[in-house]
Amino acid sequence: MVLLLSPCISTAYVYAASSSVIVPLSFYAQGYVGELTFPSPFDAYLIRLNVKYVGSSSIPINYRVDKNLISPGESVSLYLNTSSTLVNLKLYVDLSVYKGTELICSEELEAPLPEFYAPGSYSSLSIPLPKVYLWEFGIPVTLTFFVGMDAISGIAFSLKTGGLQPSTSVVVFEKNKLDASLTFSKLDGVGAKLEIDRFGLVLAGFLSIGVGISELPLYVHYFPPIDLTKFSTYLSIQKELAKLKTPIEISALSSKNSVTIGESITITGKVSPSASGLSMKVLARIIDESWLTATTIMTANGNFAVDWAPQKIGEYEIKVYHEGSEYSTETSSNLIKVSVSKAPSTISCLVSTSKIKLGETITVSGSISPTHAGVSVTLLYKKPDGSTFTRKLTTATDGSFSDNYKPDASGDWAVTASWLGDADSNGATSPTCSFNVVWGGPCIIATATFGSELSPQVQFLRGFRDNIVLSTFAGSQFMNVFNAWYYSFSPTVAGYIASNHIMKEIMKIALYPLIGILHLSVAAYSIFGSNSELGVIFAGFVASSMIGVVYFPPIFGLLFRGLMRHRNLRSGNKFRFAILIMWLSSLALTVLGEIISSVNILMMTATSAFVLSTLILSMLILVEIIKLAKRRLRLFILGRR
């Protein structure tokens, strides 16, 4: 017997409360009974029977579970009961009558079973079947059937569980057993469910069929008894009775308690009891603000791990939240506190070259990391005299910046780059970059005099300036002052010389002594070997003394003579003493400037005063020598007279 259950059954979710469901049941069962040779007055008949049942019913099932929450190691009880229900059952008999090998009759006989209940029991239940009429040589022959049934009917179904032990159970309701109680134990994991796996109508007993000829046969022949048990069949069905949730606990921790904005932290933890596939949300908020979902994760064997990078500074609270599912309860983890601060940044500063000539342009470049586009960068330039100034730049889309600047003074320069930061990043200052600016321009008057920068005389003058004077601290600071004075008039003078041939020749005569003096100064410089600072001071002393002797007497002699006639400066000794004090002081300050080597203004003042006082002092000494020579010459002449 095959039992068909209607698939249109709504699922009922039961949590620690009584509930019931009516299961519409339709079924169809058939089986071959057998054959019987029945002698007749005329000839023998071969009768074959094939029996089938068709029926329907609605089976009520009441059930209850004693809890709705369950944890591993706990038990849950399921209580079930039903009632005896009328089954609309009909018996069909397929009849085939053969005479020899000839089929002489084929009919389907129908008979309803009166008062058939499940669960129930039946004893000598008589089932009427219609009579069958045959004709033999024009004479009617009547086949009369006698059907009886002794049976027990029952309702049976199997239970399947999820997350519980045992995993399957069979329940059979009989006439005197309409209640059942089952207990299941929770296994590891989260949640449990109970459902009907198979459902059916169970029959036990026998069906007997007999046949006789005539309306009231005197003799009845019976087919072999039919065992009804073989017609009992289950139909697979998925019918949930109850789902149970498991209370869960979540523990979580962070890989770091203090990070900078954009820096990732790893949130790890576990769920108890262990379970896979549970959906979790990582909720985060700045204290006193609303919770926001940072990310979602799924558990694997009860564990979880996820990386998250906060994008806003502040004091955060973080928790892992499970909103619950059909098998688990809603819960949250412990609170995690993380402090998020501004991200550090770095700024670089590079110069295109470490040494340039005055008048040339240097490029200062760099970048901010991490990249910040469109932010303000300040370049702080420090000049050779110690003064500073700033230049403002804006970074490009890749965070880089570049500044082209033409220094206005020779000497050692320094530059640093900085930015103040923004809402997400702290500001930064770069290491200091240094570069040296030298007087690399042309010797304007000498070039105009000798006609070309490539002339030997010009090349010597430039080499003396660049390779000796400017290569030292004292010399470069002196050149700052000298060039400020020299280049204030030299372009005009050079233009005049270049356009006047006679003036060129005069200037050649004037410059040749200077070239000779500087050759002598180079020799003086080389005396000090590797100590270039002492060498340049001594070379400067030699050059200044010789220039004062060669070039200054015509100029300063007249000036000194005029000063001596002034009534307040009649005594030349006071003037000479003042110049001597100036020379000694400037020499002492020059030595001090070398020792300190960081106060540019001191060295510029000292070297300028040293050169100027040396020029005047050498000129005064020459004047005194000339005066002494004239006096002795006069005495010599008077003595000869």
4 pLDDT band (50/70/90 cuts)? very low
Per-residue pLDDT, averaged over 167-180, amounts to 90
- What would the pLDDT profile of 59-84 be if each residue is shown by its tens digit? 888 999 999 999 999 999 999 998 88
Q: CA-CA distance, 185 to 71, in Å (whole number)?
A: 9
Q: Which pLDDT belongs to residue 430?
A: 94
Residue 10: pLDDT above 50?
no
Q: CA-CA distance, 440 to 465, in Å (whole number)?
A: 9
- pTM summary value: 0.56
Q: Which pLDDT belongs to residue 100?
A: 81
Q: CA-CA distance, 526 to 464, in Å (whole number)?
A: 12
Q: Which pLDDT belongs to residue 18?
A: 64
The residue with greater pLDDT, 313 or 136, is: 313
Q: Which pLDDT belongs to residue 245?
A: 93
Proportion of the chain above pLDDT 90, given as a percent: 28
The residue with greater pLDDT, 396 or 113, is: 396
Give me the phi and psi of 264, to 5 degrees please: -80, 145
Q: Which pLDDT belongs to residue 14?
A: 37
Q: Which pLDDT belongs to residue 640?
A: 65
Per-residue pLDDT, averaged over 390-395, amounts to 95
Q: CA-CA distance, 244 to 194, in Å (whole number)?
A: 9
Among 92, 95, 86, 88, residue whose Cα is nearest residue 29: 92
Q: CA-CA distance, 248 to 163, in Å (whole number)?
A: 15
- What would the pLDDT profile of 286-310 be if each residue is shown by its tens digit? 998 999 998 899 989 889 999 999 9
Per-residue pLDDT, averaged over 474-497, amounts to 80
Q: CA-CA distance, 330 to 321, in Å (whole number)?
A: 8
Per-residue pLDDT, averaged over 332-350, amounts to 93
Q: Which pLDDT belongs to residue 42?
A: 61
Residues 6+ apart with CB under 8 A from 627: none
335 pLDDT band (50/70/90 cuts)? very high
Among 382, 457, 471, 371, residue whose Cα is nearest residue 419: 371
The residue with greater pLDDT, 53 or 410, is: 53
Residue 500: pLDDT above 80?
yes
Residue 510: pLDDT above 80?
yes
CATH for 249-341 is 2.70.50.70
Q: Which pLDDT belongs to residue 517?
A: 85
Cβ proximity of 414 and 408 under 8 Å:
no
Give me the chain's average pLDDT, please.
Answer: 84
Beta pairing class for 355-357 and 433-438:
parallel
Out of 152-156, 187-191, 223-227, 484-488, pick the least confident: 484-488
Q: Which pLDDT belongs to residue 2?
A: 30
519 pLDDT band (50/70/90 cuts)? confident
557 pLDDT band (50/70/90 cuts)? low
Which pair of structure tokens corresponds to residue 476?
A: 């470069």
Residue 366: pLDDT above 90?
yes
Q: Which pLDDT belongs to residue 596?
A: 81
Q: Which pLDDT belongs to residue 626?
A: 79
Cβ proximity of 404 and 361 under 8 Å:
yes
Among 147, 116, 131, residue whose Cα is nearest residue 51: 147
Chain length of the chain: 641
Out of 54-58, 72-76, 337-341, 381-385, pick the least confident: 54-58
Q: CA-CA distance, 93 to 468, in Å (whole number)?
A: 133
Residue 52: pLDDT above 60?
yes
User: Dihedral angle at the C-alpha atoms of 633, 635, 637, 638, nearest 10 degrees?
Assistant: 160
Q: What ranges do the domains of the chain cover?
A: 2-244, 249-341, 346-438, 444-637
**Architecture of the domain delimited by 346-438:** Sandwich (2.60)
Residues 6+ apart with CB under 8 A from 253: 267, 268, 269, 336
Cβ proximity of 236 and 164 under 8 Å:
no
Which pair of structure tokens corresponds to residue 212?
A: 């006789």
The residue with greater pLDDT, 14 or 250, is: 250
Residue 337: pLDDT above 90?
yes
Containing H/E element for 380? strand 376-382
Per-residue pLDDT, averaged over 16-32, amounts to 70
If one counts every other C-beta atom within 10 angstroms of the C-beta of residue 411, the result is: 22
- 513 in helix, strand or coil? helix
Q: CA-CA distance, 23 to 234, in Å (whole number)?
A: 14
Per-residue pLDDT, averaged over 408-418, amounts to 87
- What would the pLDDT profile of 583-610 be if each residue is shown by its tens digit? 888 888 888 877 887 677 888 888 888 8
Q: CA-CA distance, 365 to 352, in Å (whole number)?
A: 8
Q: CA-CA distance, 368 to 418, in Å (whole number)?
A: 9
- What would the pLDDT profile of 269-285 be if each residue is shown by its tens digit? 999 999 888 999 999 99
Tell me how far apart the terminal alpha carbons of the chain are, to the nearest angstrom.
175
- What would the pLDDT profile of 449-464 be if each residue is shown by its tens digit? 878 777 888 888 888 8
Q: Which pLDDT belongs to residue 504?
A: 84
